[in-house]
Amino acid sequence: MDMANLSLIEQLARLREQVPGVYPRDAACHLGVTECELVHADPGATALDAADLPALLSAIEPLGEVMALARNDACVHELVGRYGNVQFEGKVGLAINEVIDLRFFLYGWAYAYALVTNDARGERRSLQFFDKHGTAIQKVFLRPDSDVAAFDALVTRFASGRSECRPEPAAPAAAELADSEIDAAAFQAEWLALRDVHGFHSLLRRHRLSRRQAFRLAPPGQAWRVRTDAVETLLRRVAATRVPMMAFAGNGGVIQIHTGTIDRVEVRGNWLNILDPAFSLHLDMPKVTEAWVAHKPGENGVVTSLELFDAAGVSLLTLFGERKGGHSERPEWRKLLCELSVLEGEDA
Find the domain containing 63 and state its range.
Answer: 22-84+109-158
Do 152 and 185 sit in the same domain of this protein?
A: no
Inside any domain, residue 37:
yes
Shared-domain flag, residues 221 and 149:
no
Q: How many domains does the chain have?
A: 2
Let me know if residue 192 belongs to a domain.
yes
Q: Is residue 98 part of a domain?
A: no
Query: Do 202 and 321 sit in the same domain of this protein?
Result: yes
Helix (H) or strand (E) holding 66: strand 65-71
Kindly state whether residues 54 and 132 are assigned to the same domain. yes
**At residue 105, what are phi and psi to the nearest 5 degrees?**
-135, 100
- pLDDT tens for the 348 residues of the chain, in order: 345 557 898 998 899 889 988 888 999 999 999 999 999 999 999 999 999 999 999 999 999 999 999 999 999 999 999 999 999 999 999 999 999 999 999 999 999 999 999 877 789 999 999 999 999 999 999 999 999 999 999 999 999 976 789 999 988 888 899 999 999 999 999 999 998 888 999 999 999 999 999 999 999 999 999 999 999 999 999 999 999 999 999 999 999 999 999 999 999 999 999 999 999 999 999 999 999 999 999 888 899 999 999 999 999 999 999 987 778 899 999 999 999 988 765 655
Residue 323: name the closest of 302, 338, 337 by CA: 302
Considering the domain architecture, whether residues 185 and 332 belong to the same structural domain is answered as: yes
Beta bridge partners of 226: 291, 342
Q: What count of other Cβ atoms lies within 10 Å of the Cβ of residue 194? A: 18
Question: Are residues 128 and 261 located together in one domain of the fold?
Answer: no
CATH of the domain at 207: 3.40.1570.10
206 & 239 share domain: yes
Nearest residue to 69 via CA among 2, 126, 15, 9: 126
* 75 is a domain residue: yes
Helix (H) or strand (E) holding 248: strand 245-250
